[in-house]
Amino acid sequence: MTKDQIFEFFRRLAEDNPSPETELEYGNAYQLVVAVALSAQATDVGVNKATRALFREVETPEQMLSLGEDGLKEHIKTIGLFNSKAKNVIALSQLLVDEYDSKVPDTREDLVRLPGVGRKTANVVLNCWFGQETFAVDTHIFRVGNRTGLAKGKTPEQVEAKLEKRVPQPFRLGAHHWLILHGRYVCKARTPECWRCAVVDLCSYRKKVLEKPGRGNTKTGPG
C-alpha cells in the first residue's frame, strides 16, 4: 500500500467506528492487565463471562492474593489454560505488591517483567490505559496486516515494526483496535467478507470473496 492508500484505509475504518475500544471489560488498570493476560488463546467474550463476577470481588492485587490461586481457578475454569493463567495472575499480583506499590507500571520494560505478560499484553495495557501509541499484534492483526498488504511480516514483531513505521496520524492511537475489529468481524480467517468490506479496493489480497457464499454464485477475485 502507498502512504495515501494507508491513510485512506484508516480514514474509512475510523469513519465507521470513530472511538474504537477493546471488547474486554475492566474497571481499572489492574483488572485490564488481568483480563488481557487471561485472553491469550481465548475469546474476549469468554474472558468477560469469567471476569464479571471475579472483578466484582477483586479490584486490587491484594484482593487477588486474598482470593488465592484456588479461588481464582474457580472463577476462570471456563477459560483455556486456566491453571497456568491462575498461577501467573497470582504471581504478577505479588510482584505488583512487592515492587510496584500495587500500581500497574506504565512502561513496556516493567510490564513484561510481570508473569504471564508478554509484549502484546504490555502493548494493550499501554494503549488502552495509558494512551500510548502501541500496536498489539494478535492473530487478527497479523492476518489483516499480511492479507491486505498493510504490514507484511513473518512474525508478530515484524508486523508490529511495519505498523509502527507506516501508520500515520491521527490514526496511531486507535489503529490496533480498528485492525482487531476488522479482522474479527470482516476480514475473517476462513472466509473474509470482502463483499461488505469498507477497504476492499485498497486491499492487495488476490482471492477476494466478492459475493456472500451460499447464494449459488460465489465470486472471487483473481487467483
Distances (CA, A) of 152 to 1, 33, 100: 10, 28, 37
DSSP-derived secondary structure for 3-35 = HHHHHHHHHHHHHH-SS---SS--SSHHHHHHH
* CB 210 within 8 Å of CB 220: yes
Tell which residue, 125, 75, 85, has the closest CA to residue 104.
Answer: 125
> pLDDT above 90 covers what percent of the chain?
91
3-state DSSP assignment of residue 133: coil
What is the band of 215 on the pLDDT scale with cuts at 50, 70, 90? low
202: number of Cβ within 10 Å: 18
Write down the pTM of the prediction: 0.87
- Tens of pLDDT along 17-39? 999 999 999 999 999 999 999 99
Residues labelled as active-site residues: 120, 138
- Contacts with 184 (C-beta within 8 Å, 6 or more apart), sequence order: 140
Residue range 174-196, pLDDT digits in tens: 999 999 999 999 999 999 999 99
**Ligand-binding site membership of 194 (annotated):** yes
**187 labelled ligand-binding:** yes
Using CB atoms within 10 A of its CB, is residue 190 exposed (0-12), middle (13-18) or buried (19+)? exposed
Per-residue pLDDT for 161 more than 80?
yes
Q: Tell whether residue 128 is among the known ligand binding residues.
A: no
**pLDDT tens, residue by residue, 90-125:** 999 999 999 999 999 999 999 999 999 999 999 999
Q: CA torsion angle for 175, 176, 182, 185 (degrees, to 10)? A: -140
